[in-house]
């Protein structure tokens, strides 16, 4: 390990929980060492207590990626205190919402519809190997996440070989739109949550849930409160927000998300991650 990051004493951080809670899909743990590809670099990182050792990027990027410059303590303190969120915050102390690259995040959650985490990892891994640049770094070999231009050139047939299934059509069309519009992310960033959500739902394959994930993980809109089947169940169990069975209607989705925002406040999306971490 090349470098050591000095964690600030009043700032909780838990690397394991942060990387395994289901927000990112291209990180693997071997022994106590996590390795992932981010911004075209292979990054390795381990934590022992208050010590973070890492290699493959500079301190500035590490801080940026894991949001270590963010006052997590006061965010947690801003949740209205009830026993359920209190327990989740205690159990998953140090979980941080990472700052993902908007494009990688968009494509990741496009793939994430209608499937589980192992399969999402498989799809993204396949796409990287087949379409991404090979990186050789420090004796390790890895593949960068492919750009929108890379994917838009290899539509449909090729993408199906990545086990993306019916999503290949969405990936193809969305890639083309993004490849032709380099300012897309800045435009979304300049809007408020509601406007940004509307805008991002114009991409084929992006509905409410996928949009909310992208806005939370790729654009740091913390009022975004993604509702998937897990969160729906949890919110129903804990707060009685709606009917737990049958297909999730748009009305139910909005009711649960609005409740989340009212109950947890401006950082509802952060609260959502703490609740989601406790799913099973």
Partner DNA sequence: GATACTCCTCCCCC
Partner DNA sequence: AGGGGGAGGAGTA
Q: Does 218 engage in binding with DNA (CB under 7 A)? A: no
Q: Which of 51, 133, 198, 209 is catalytic?
A: 209
Instruction: Please state, in angstroms and rounded to a whole number, the distance separating the CA atoms of residues 251 and 48.
Output: 45
Q: Does 255 engage in binding with DNA (CB under 7 A)? A: no
CB 171 within 8 A of CB 180: no
Give per-residue burial for 11-42: e unless 16+ CB within 10 Å, then b.
eebebebbbbbbbbbbbeeeeeebbbbbeebb
E strand or H helix that includes residue 221: none
What torsion, rounded to 10 degrees, do the Cα atoms 52, 56, 61, 67 define?
Answer: -40
Q: How is residue 277 annotated by DSSP?
A: H
> Cβ contacts of residue 8 below 8 Å, gap of 6+?
68
Q: Closer to DNA by CB, 142 or 210: give it.
A: 210
Q: For the segment 125-184, give every residue that binds DNA (CB under 7 A).
A: 160, 163-166, 170
Structure tokens belonging to residue 148 = 């929108």
> Cβ contacts of residue 127 below 8 Å, gap of 6+?
107, 145, 146, 151, 159, 162, 164
By CB under 7 A, name the one of 45, 185, 211, 256 that touches DNA. 211
Q: Does 243 engage in binding with DNA (CB under 7 A)? A: no
By CB under 7 A, name the one of 29, 93, 122, 255 that touches DNA. 122
CB 55 within 8 A of CB 43: yes
By CB under 7 A, name the one of 201, 236, 239, 242 that touches DNA. 201
* CB 249, min distance to DNA, A: 5
* CB 211, min distance to DNA, A: 6
Structure tokens belonging to residue 91 = 């159990």
Q: Does 124 engage in binding with DNA (CB under 7 A)? A: no
Q: Does 210 engage in binding with DNA (CB under 7 A)? A: yes
Stretch that binds DNA, among 69-77, 183-191, 247-255, 270-278 (CB under 7 A): 247-255
Q: Does 86 engage in binding with DNA (CB under 7 A)? A: no
Q: Does 193 engage in binding with DNA (CB under 7 A)? A: no
Q: Closer to DNA by CB, 80 or 166: give it.
A: 166
Q: Closer to DNA by CB, 66 or 225: give it.
A: 225
Q: Does 263 engage in binding with DNA (CB under 7 A)? A: no
Q: Does 117 engage in binding with DNA (CB under 7 A)? A: no
Other beta carbons within 10 Å of 72? 21
Q: Is 209 a catalytic residue?
A: yes
Could you list the active site residues?
Answer: 209
Task: Catalog residues that contact DNA under the rule CB under 7 A.
Answer: 112-116, 118-119, 122, 160, 163-166, 170, 201, 204-211, 228-230, 247, 249-251
């Amino acid at each position: 390990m090349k470098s050591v990051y000095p964690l600030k004493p009043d700032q909780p951080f838990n690397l394991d929980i942060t990387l395994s809670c289901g927000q990112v899909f291209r990180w693997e743990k071997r022994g106590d060492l996590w390795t992932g590809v981010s911004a075209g670099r292979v990054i390795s990182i381990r934590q022992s207590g208050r010590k973070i050792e890492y290699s493959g990027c500079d301190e500035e990027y590490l801080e940026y990626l894991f949001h270590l410059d963010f006052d997590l303590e006061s965010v947690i303190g801003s949740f209205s205190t009830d026993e359920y969120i209190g327990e989740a915050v205690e159990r998953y102390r140090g979980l941080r919402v990472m700052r993902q690259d908007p494009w990688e995040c968009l494509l990741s959650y496009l793939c994430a519809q209608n499937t589980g985490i192992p399969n999402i990892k498989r799809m993204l891994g396949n796409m990287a190997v087949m379409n991404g640049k090979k990186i050789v770094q420090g004796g390790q070999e890895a593949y960068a996440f492919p750009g929108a231009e890379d994917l838009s050139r290899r539509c449909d047939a090729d993408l199906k070989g990545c086990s993306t299934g019916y999503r290949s059509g969405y990936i193809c069309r969305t890639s083309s739109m993004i490849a032709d519009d380099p300012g897309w992310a800045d435009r979304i960033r300049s809007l408020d949550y509601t406007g940004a959500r509307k805008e991002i739902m114009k991409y084929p394959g992006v509905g409410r849930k996928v949009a909310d994930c992208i806005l939370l993980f790729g654009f740091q809109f913390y009022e975004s409160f993604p509702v998937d089947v897990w969160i729906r169940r949890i919110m129903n169990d804990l707060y009685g927000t709606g009917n737990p069975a049958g297909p999730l209607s748009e009305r139910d989705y909005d009711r649960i998300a609005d409740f989340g925002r009212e109950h947890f406040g401006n950082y509802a999306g952060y609260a959502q991650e703490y609740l989601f971490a406790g799913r099973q």
